[in-house]
Amino acid sequence: MTTIASNLQAVRDAIDAAAVKAGRFASEVKLLAVSKTFSADALREAYHAGQTCFAESYVQEALNKIAALQDLTIEWHYIGPIQSNKARAIVENFSWVHSVDRLKIAERLSEQRPTHLPPLQVCLQVNISMETSKSGVSPDEVSALAHAIAKLPGLTLRGLMAVPAPSDDGAAQRLPFMQLRKLLDQLNQQGLQLDTLSMGMSHDFAAAIAEGSTIVRIGTAIFGNRNYGEKK
Ligand SMILES: *Cc1c(COP(=O)(O)O)cnc(C)c1O
């Protein structure tokens, strides 16, 4: 087995174990391979090891890989910052966007989604740890934004996404994930029908799964450490 294939297997095993421990089915948790900074060849290797969902954070870098991997059936997810002049490239090339945090951007994505494609699947990014440096809508603004976005025809609002402040302590890791789950529950009580909690990365996905994560976004544990200097 290649390193990527064996890393993927280890991640899948750890997801299974975390799900069992939480009394959940591993099939309820979708594994997104976060491939930013890694080459198209690395993605191809992961694909041949059974991985079909990939996430990218930079539009131009992603477009290069999408073009290079046209022969594969990949579901592409966008998880990076959204500049309005990149909205068209995003809606033409991705199935999902996890990082929507403003109505203006959501409206633009909806308007520009090509009509021959199904609606763009979106999550609202929530600034759950309330760090000023992080993107995401603040928890008290989630409800108004979610209800507005749910009305846009080119989008299907699926749920919430968060990148909490890093912590090494399992119990501390669970707190922001629990808060995100409660926010999702509130939205559903208000009549929305949301089924997605996009939460958990390489260092904290077990805690996220314990709190109900349905999509984990994992890069380092699959591909190794990122080297931003050699970004492709
Ligand atoms: C890079 C990134 C990830 C993956 O992080 P790892 O720690 O490498 O697993 C997940 N989510 C977002 C939003 C990212 O930018």
pTM to 2 decimal places: 0.96
Residue type for position 215: I
Domains of the chain: 3-227 (3.20.20.10)
Q: How far is CA 119 from the centre of its chain?
A: 17
Residue nearest atom 10 of ligand 1, based on CA coordinates: 217
Q: Where residue 231 falls among pLDDT bands split at 50, 70, 90? A: very low
Mean pLDDT of 75-79: 98
Nearest to 212 by CA among 163, 172, 176: 176
Q: Give residue 77's pLDDT band: very low, low, confident or very high (50, 70, 90).
A: very high
> Do the strands 120-125 and 96-100 form a parallel or antiparallel pair, or are they unpaired?
parallel
Protein residue with its CA nearest to atom 13 in ligand 1: 79
* Ligand 1 midpoint to CA 187 (Å): 25
In this predicted model, what pLDDT tens digit does every residue of 123-175 receive, in sequence order? 999 999 877 667 899 999 999 999 999 999 999 999 999 999 999 898 999 99
CA–CA dist 171, 198 (Å, integer): 19
- Judged by DSSP in three states, 17 sits in helix
Whether 150 and 192 have beta carbons less than 8 Å apart is answered as: yes
Return the DSSP state at 215. E
The structure tokens listed for 222 are 């699959």
CB atoms closer than 10 angstroms to residue 77 = 26
Query: For residue 182, how many C-alpha atoms fall within 13 Å in the half-sphere facing its CB?
Result: 9
Residue type, 103: L
Average confidence score pLDDT of the chain: 96
Quote the CA–CA distance of 193 and 55 in Å, as a whole number. 24
CA distance 229 to 33: 21
pLDDT of residue 129: 85
SS3 call for 211: coil
CB of 79 closer than 6 angstroms to any ligand 1 atom: yes
- In this prediction, residue 201 carries a pLDDT of 98
| Ligand 1 atom with least separation from CA of 221 | 9
pLDDT of residue 36: 97
For ligand 1, whether the C-beta of 220 sits within 6 Å is yes
Percent residues over pLDDT 90 in the chain: 92
How many other C-beta atoms lie within 10 A of the C-beta of residue 68? 15
Q: Measured over all CA atoms, what is the biggest interatomic distance in the chain, rounded to whole angstroms?
A: 48
Closest by CA to 61, choosing from 31, 28, 84, 39, is: 39
pLDDT classification of 229: cutoffs 50, 70, 90: low
Question: CA 80, 82, 86, 88 torsion: positive or negative?
Answer: positive
Ligand 1 site, residue 36, Cβ cutoff 6 A: yes
Q: Residue 132: its pLDDT value, please?
A: 63
pLDDT range class, residue 232, cuts 50, 70, 90 = very low
Determine the pLDDT at residue 55.
98
Give the whole-number percent of the chain exceeding pLDDT 70: 97
- DSSP designation for 90: H
DSSP run (H or E) holding 8: helix 3-21
Does 187 or 166 have the greater pLDDT score?
Answer: 187
SS3 123: strand
209 with 190: CB under 8 angstroms?
no
pLDDT band at residue 25, thresholds of 50, 70 and 90? very high
